[in-house]
Structure 1
Amino acid sequence: MDEFILRTNKLTKKYTNDFALEKVNISIKKGEIYGFIGKNGAGKSTMLRLITGLAFPTSGSIELFGNDNRNELINAQKRMGAIIENPALFPNMSAYENLEVHRLQKGIPGSVCIQETLELVGLSNTGKKKAKNFSLGMKQRLGLAIALLSDPEFLILDEPTNGLDPMGIVELRELIKKLNREKGLTVLISSHILSELHLLATSFGIIHKGKLLEELTAKELDEKCRQHLRIKVDDPIMGATVLEQNLSTTDFEVMQDGTLKLYKYLDDVRNVSRALTNHGLVIEHLSQNGDSLESYFSKLVGGHKE
């Protein structure tokens, strides 16, 4: 049975007459890297603030680690680490001093964890350099170190790649994968950059104007975006036989409605059409389908009726 780290039920946040979130249901299983995708202003940060207890919902409920009682939620939130919007740093302190303050605030015994965490995020050699003199990317790393300091079970990151150069983005991605793989850390990452999350996340939630449009796994997203020929013939079983025997391919699927999705011969539609018609099949539909990840997101968001 799947263990859920987070579930929300009709979670809603309303400001005067405007909904920042409206009846949002998301589910995150233990061990997942969940990519929370939406344009700026879609409601991502509001959702993360509600989950971490920095704001309170207008209605609906949040369940963390199987707990939805108010007091239980407060204890469950201690098992999380988070960066919401910009990391809260002490500008006149070094990286080490920043972590020491947060260690004391969180009641973490011993200071060994500080150097270990700084090494983990690549800030072990910053010495006495003050945080106000850090680059934006270094500040993001320090924020991540603060989130990881208590060795959380659930990590929440709000636009963590902001300010990072391409190499920094790659390093952060590999670090998150390592934490997920070696420590079993469950991660929720919000971003408006679908292409980057696709390299990292194992499941996705797509939000637009406060409403969750879709939840899907990485495999399902790949399937939706994979280029293919969509074929509709009067005899799907015979059509499948022709693809397998005459075109020598098994890289196709027969959908429930009888449509054939062929992932080969994308540049040789004429040969596919000829093979089908030579066996007496009537072609009712034949087209190339599939999107890039960005165009799929744009189509989903753009086609959503308010």
Structure 2
Amino acid sequence: MSEYILRTDELTKTYKNYKAVNKVNITVKKGDIYGFIGQNGAGKSTMLRLVTGLGFPDSGKIEIFGADTAKELNDAQKRMGAIIEQPALFLNMTAEQNLEVHRLQKGIPGKQCITDTLKLVELENTGNKKVKNFSLGMKQRLGLAVALLGDPEFLILDEPTNGLDPIGIVELRELIQKLNREKNLTVLISSHILSELYQLATTYGIIHEGRLIEELSLQELDEKCRQHLKIKVDDHEKGVTVLERKLNTTDFEITPDGSINLYSHLENVRIVSAALTESGLIIEHLSQNGDSLESYFSKLVGGSSHE
């Protein structure tokens, strides 16, 4: 069985003269929580609509569970659950009645799945309360329950925390992590709340103006954003020796431009500077660097909007 749940190849979707999705190649591995990051209008929702079959690409290829023909993709999409834009809920029905409608639409046998799913999203005690009287957080959890009917292997969520208060965001995050951990559910989630994605995702794809500009793991992101002293001296090889012998550290790396990123001694800049200069080195640059996910994203796309 392929380790990849989703792969796209040069996926493109054009509206009039605007390429909403422009030759995008993403890879979502089994067990990932894949955080899809982009500004408003970057192409996130269009991309997710193409993957779920709610839209059709102009060119390129989609592969889900190893399937890539039209018929195979249709069958593969039945193994998915999704919330794209707002959940489709019947406001004058109860939570149980809502799930019963969707169960019948999906052709899922037996009603036990309704009980199990409501319990999973902690809505099992809502009884006869109509959805129109639910809080926004409860509605979001019910929408998630609809997506989880049929026990999907792959879950796609488009901005699921929109409008939620901080408690609702935490509850949703913990539920997604629980599903990923206990059911090995693979999740593709888009959000403009980057700090929230940082606490949730294991892999990231950053899209800008329809193009995927970077795809990286949480570990790779942490390395890029890790706080460090950026040191540029006239002889970086000698500089490395000084760090090892005088400061007793190997927690650094040499960058392609010959700079040294020192991850220790962040609070002892003067000691670092003195050790280098006393060894006869000329310090050309010394500064403390490191990004949050928000600032790293802004540097990549050249702006400050995170929506």
- TM-score bucket of the superposed structures, by smaller chain: over 0.9
Q: One-letter code of the match for 1:155?
A: L
Shift of 1:257: 4.5
Q: Which residue of 2 aligns with 1:87?
A: 87
1:19–1:210 Cα contact (<8 Å) kept = yes
Q: Which residue of 2 aligns with 1:179?
A: 179
Residue 287 of structure 2: SS of its match in structure 1? strand
Residues 100-122 of structure 1, C-alpha deviation per residue, up to 9 Å, x if partnerless? 11111111111111111111111
Shift of 1:167: 1.8
The 1-side partners of 2:137 and 2:15 are apart by 33
Q: How does 1:79-158 map to 2 (within 5 A)?
A: 79-158=79-158
1:140–1:162 Cα contact (<8 Å) kept = no
Shift of 1:303: 6.3
Shift of 1:264: 2.2
The 2-side partners of 1:256 and 1:40 are apart by 34
Q: One-letter code of the match for 2:152?
A: P
Shift of 1:287: 2.3
2:2–2:66 Cα contact (<8 Å) kept = no
Residue 248 of structure 1: SS of its match in structure 2? coil
Residues 125-150 of structure 1, C-alpha deviation per residue, up to 9 Å, x if partnerless? 11111112222221111100011111
1:232 and 2:235 correspond: no
Shift of 1:36: 0.1
Q: Which residue of 2 aligns with 1:288?
A: 288
2:11–2:60 Cα contact (<8 Å) kept = yes
The 2-side partners of 1:118 and 1:25 are apart by 35
Shift of 1:48: 0.6
Would you identify which runs of 4 or more consecutive aligned residues in structure 1 move more than 6 Å? none
2:157–2:188 Cα contact (<8 Å) kept = yes
2:31–2:184 Cα contact (<8 Å) kept = yes
Shift of 1:174: 1.4
Q: Which residue of 1 aligns with 2:33?
A: 33
Residues 25-49 of structure 1, C-alpha deviation per residue, up to 9 Å, x if partnerless? 1111111100001112211111111
Q: One-letter code of the match for 1:135?
A: S
Q: One-letter code of the match for 2:94?
A: S
Residues 38-90 of structure 1, C-alpha deviation per residue, up to 9 Å, x if partnerless? 11221111111100000101111111011111110000000100000000111
CA RMSD of aligned residues (A): 1.7
1:204 and 2:207 correspond: no
The 1-side partners of 2:162 and 2:191 are apart by 9
Aligned residues: percent identity?
74
The 2-side partners of 1:213 and 1:237 are apart by 33
Q: TM-score, normalised by structure 2?
A: 0.94
The 2-side partners of 1:19 and 1:238 are apart by 50
Shift of 1:212: 1.2
Q: Which residue of 2 aligns with 1:42?
A: 42
Residue 212 of structure 2: SS of its match in structure 1? strand
Residue 168 of structure 1: SS of its match in structure 2? helix
Q: One-letter code of the match for 2:211?
A: K
The 1-side partners of 2:140 and 2:24 are apart by 28
Residues 145-166 of structure 1, C-alpha deviation per residue, up to 9 Å, x if partnerless? 0111110110000111123221
In structure 2, the gaps of 5 or more residues are none
Q: One-letter code of the match for 1:211?
A: R
Residues 160-180 of structure 1, C-alpha deviation per residue, up to 9 Å, x if partnerless? 112322122112111111111
Shift of 1:297: 1.1
Residue 20 of structure 2: SS of its match in structure 1? strand
Residues 179-212 of structure 1, C-alpha deviation per residue, up to 9 Å, x if partnerless? 1112111100001111100001001001112111
Out of 175-184 and 228-237, give the one that drifted further: 228-237
Shift of 1:256: 4.7
The 2-side partners of 1:196 and 1:292 are apart by 12
The 1-side partners of 2:208 and 2:75 are apart by 31
The 1-side partners of 2:168 and 2:136 are apart by 11
Q: One-letter code of the match for 2:182?
A: E
The 2-side partners of 1:269 and 1:196 are apart by 32
2:2–2:65 Cα contact (<8 Å) kept = no
The 1-side partners of 2:143 and 2:151 are apart by 14
Out of 230-239 and 78-87, give the one that drifted further: 230-239
Q: One-letter code of the match for 2:64?
A: L
Shift of 1:2: 6.6
Out of 72-81 and 231-240, give the one that drifted further: 231-240
Shift of 1:246: 1.4
Q: How many residues align?
A: 304
Residue 199 of structure 1: SS of its match in structure 2? helix
